[in-house]
Amino acid sequence: MEQAKALNALEPFLALSSSATSDRAAADVVMRATSAPNTYIFAELLRQPRIRALAGNLEFSPHLRLLEVFSYGTYQDYRETRGLPRLNEPQMLKLRQLTLLTLARDRSNLSYQALQKALGLTSARQLEDLVITAMYAGLLHATLDPARQAVQVNSLAPLRDLAPRSIQDMIAALGNWSDKCASTLRDLDAQIVNIRAAAVAREKENRAAEQRIHALVSEARDSDKKTDQPGRDALPRRAYNKRSMVDASNITSAETMDVDEPPAAEEQKKRSGKRKM
């Protein structure tokens, strides 16, 4: 939505550049386009033949360079480039807003101190006012944190053009990233193979251990059966012997009682004789 709005705002200046009959008129288109509200994307204007022709004119080539700074540069680039046209207030505000969009991509640049230095501001109040105006313009959504002296950016509008060769650099960066991902995936595949092989080896070891344990248990059971069988046969014999000993002792006692019985009878006859007398 923001891009469509910015492109619509640039349309009149594209028409003016096509109808410009001199380098001066083309340079004037540059100054007007960069000063107009809602114009934040300038790549289409940079492609116009009449605007590109300014590169061959020493007097107006700085205007082409200024348009390039507004398209993909920063306020710091403007300050470091000599001979550029002086900016009016709307241009200064817009270039700082666009620079803020670029800086907000890196969270390490979002401290008050870093932003003030990059944007050429002298106080925290100026920075906060700039952030607020950028939010009202729909360039970003952010939260000011005066206590921590930092700006927390939540989202950015895609309102910056790509610098020359940035696509090639992006392709190279993506290629490096792709190579790293492929290398990482190969390492992961190798690790998965090793883990699976180790799991199979552990399973074999566990099965072999279980088989050994089962064999040992079976051997122990067979040994117990062989050892316990004579014991079962001997137990009745021992019981029989004990009963025999008991019976023998009983017989002996009975015989003894029989032998002792006659003296007792004679004693009884004596007692009876005495009573008769």
Give a yes or no: residue 82 inside a domain: yes
Give a yes or no: residue 102 inside a domain: yes
Q: Are residues 132 and 184 in the same domain?
A: no
Contacts 24+ apart (CB under 8 A), 81-89: 85/31, 88/35
Q: Are residues 206 and 134 in the same domain?
A: no
Identify which of 125, 173, 132 has the alpha carbon closest to the alpha carbon of residue 149: 125
- Residue recorded with tokens 């380098």: 23
Query: Sorting pLDDT into bands at 50, 70 and 90, what band is 1?
Result: confident
Give me the percent of the chain exceeding a pLDDT of 70.
Answer: 80
Q: Are residues 135 and 191 in the same domain?
A: no
Q: How far does CA 200 lie from the centroid of its chain?
A: 29
pLDDT digits (tens, 9 = 90+) for 84-107: 999 999 999 999 999 999 999 887
Mean pLDDT confidence for 241-256: 47
| Secondary structure (3-state) at 159 | coil
pLDDT digits (tens, 9 = 90+) for 203-246: 989 989 988 898 888 888 877 777 665 554 544 555 445 444 44
Give a yes or no: residue 255 inside a domain: no
Tokens of 264: 């007792």
Q: Which residues are CB-contacts of 39 (< 8 A; sequence separation ≥ 6)?
A: 6, 9, 10, 13, 33, 94
Q: Are residues 114 and 33 in the same domain?
A: yes
Give me the percent of the chain exceeding a pLDDT of 90.
Answer: 57
* Per-residue pLDDT at 261: 47
Last residue of a domain, one of 104, 126, 156: 156
Tokens of 98: 């666009």
Last residue of a domain, one of 98, 128, 156: 156
More confident residue, 52 or 108: 52
Domain span at residue 60? 1-156
- The size of the chain, in residues, is 277
Q: Are residues 127 and 35 in the same domain?
A: yes
Q: Are residues 130 and 63 in the same domain?
A: yes
Q: For the chain, how many structural domains are there in total? A: 2
Mean pLDDT confidence for 128-145: 94
Query: Sorting pLDDT into bands at 50, 70 and 90, what band is 198?
Result: very high
More confident residue, 17 or 261: 17
Residue 265: pLDDT above 60? no
pLDDT digits (tens, 9 = 90+) for 137-173: 999 999 999 999 999 999 999 889 888 876 666 677 7
Q: How far apart are CA 12 and CA 29, in angstroms?
A: 10
Last residue of a domain, one of 99, 129, 156: 156
* Per-residue pLDDT at 229: 57
- Residue recorded with tokens 């001199």: 22
pTM (predicted TM-score) = 0.64
Give a yes or no: residue 271 inside a domain: no
Find the largest Cα–Cα distance for the chain.
189
